[in-house]
Amino acid sequence: MKPVTLKQIAETLGISITTVSKALKDYPDVSKKTKALVKDLAQTLNYKPNAFAVNLRTSESKTIGIIVPEIVHHFFSNVIKGIISQAEKKGYLVIILQSNESYELEKKQINLLLDKRVDGILISLANGTADFKHLTEVVSQDKPLVMFDKIAKIVKCSKVVIDDRKAAYSATQHLIDTGCKRIAHFRGPLLPQNSIDRFLGYKKALLDNGFPYDPSLVYICECGDMSFDEGKLNASKLLNDHDDVDGIFINTDMVAIGAITEFNKRGVRIPEDIAIVGFSNWFMSSAITPSLTTINQPGFEMGKKAFKQLYKELKAIKKNKSKAIKTITLETILVKRDSTK
């Protein structure tokens, strides 16, 4: 049972394909009578335009692509949800790919999407990505590209981010304001900009408040699958190395929850002995004991904003206007809970 085509409708009604096509699209130069006839028949035959033919004619697929480092991830899955919800409203479908934090895969996937001729691409970079040719390639094809969360400043495209440095600063400032004197930091990997920025925010807050910066108080986490265990491990190391630390700003909630678990086990009181601030506001952070003070990172909203920006550029290009590139910074707030005083 093959799908119905315009041709079949035209033949059945004894009119031309042109008229059928125009009638269905409500062109003003088709008579009401013909329109009604055509629409009725289309309805009863359950006519659906062949998307492949429409794509070819219009050079549009009404499909966009997303690449994230990891799908099974509270933050990214929220961003994806935000993107899809918005895209659906505008009639766009969304192809999802996962780079696994690998530059090579990311590059391959950009090409896959380009080959499929998606209308636009949304991406959050892999930690391993230090070369950006695959991305400038997208831009030079005049295909809308929007980066979110993990971005590359050099690439000339729109971006949706939070101010990681400022957020980290306020997290650290909160520890200082509540009386912490010696504050450690569990940071993310060395490469991605946001883990660098969070570190810099931490450092700046210390210096601005007249605290010394002590590199031995900074611990690195890969923040991959083992985040929780890294939190436990670093908490344990910290207790061995520095018995005077009374506050920690931790790069991400999952690691913070690992640390809390370890401290609970060891009988370290939170926040009395050590106060903790996390980052991301994962839903489990309000569930654990003690509940975690953290920075709210608005994933769903970031996804929505990223799609909206992409959509604007899509429309601009369609009208042959040049697209206006923009960086949107979303607000973050400190959510105070029981892990700080």
Partner DNA sequence: CTGAAAGCGCTTACAG
Residues that bind a copy of itself (CB under 8 A): 1, 48-53, 55-56, 59, 61-63, 65, 71-74, 77-78, 80-81, 84-85, 88, 93-98, 112-117, 140-142, 228, 257-258, 261, 264-265, 283-284, 287-289
When the beta carbons of 40 and 88 are compared against a copy of itself, the nearer one is 88
Amino acid letter, 273: D
DSSP element (H, E) containing 276: strand 275-277
When the beta carbons of 27 and 213 are compared against DNA, the nearer one is 27
Q: Identify the sign of the CA torsion 85, 89, 91, 92.
A: negative
Output the smallest distance, CB 185 to DNA, in A.
53
Q: Could you say whether residue 62 binds DNA (CB under 7 A)?
A: no
Enumerate the H helices of the chain as residue ranges: 6-13, 17-24, 32-45, 51-58, 74-89, 103-115, 133-140, 164-177, 193-208, 227-241, 253-266, 299-318
Q: Exactly one of 53, 93, 130, 284 binds DNA (CB under 7 A); which one?
A: 53
When the beta carbons of 32 and 319 are compared against DNA, the nearer one is 32
What Å distances lie between residue 224 and 126, 162, 228, 255, 309, CA to CA? 12, 21, 9, 10, 29
For residues 82 and 305, give the distance between their C-alpha atoms in angstroms, rounded to a whole number. 8
Q: Could you say whether residue 30 binds DNA (CB under 7 A)?
A: yes
Output the smallest distance, CB 35 to DNA, in A.
8
Q: How many residues does the chain have?
A: 341
When the beta carbons of 59 and 216 are compared against a copy of itself, the nearer one is 59
Q: Exactly one of 1, 26, 29, 267 binds DNA (CB under 7 A); which one?
A: 29
Question: What is the chain's Cα-based Rg?
Answer: 26
Q: Could you say whether residue 16 binds DNA (CB under 7 A)?
A: yes
Output the smallest distance, CB 110 to a copy of itself, in A.
13
Selection from DNA, a copy of itself, none that 29 binds (CB < 5 to 8 A by kind) is DNA
Q: How many helices (H) and strands (E) does the chain have?
A: 12, 12
Q: Could you say whether residue 111 binds DNA (CB under 7 A)?
A: no
The token pair that represents 327 in the structure block: 């960086």
Output the smallest distance, CB 255 to DNA, in A.
48
Output the smallest distance, CB 201 to a copy of itself, in A.
27
For residues 281 and 330, give the distance between their C-alpha atoms in angstroms, rounded to a whole number. 15
Of the candidate spans 56-64, 143-151, 226-234, 315-323, the one that interacts with DNA by CB under 7 A turns out to be: 56-64
For residues 328 and 20, give the distance between their C-alpha atoms in angstroms, rounded to a whole number. 45
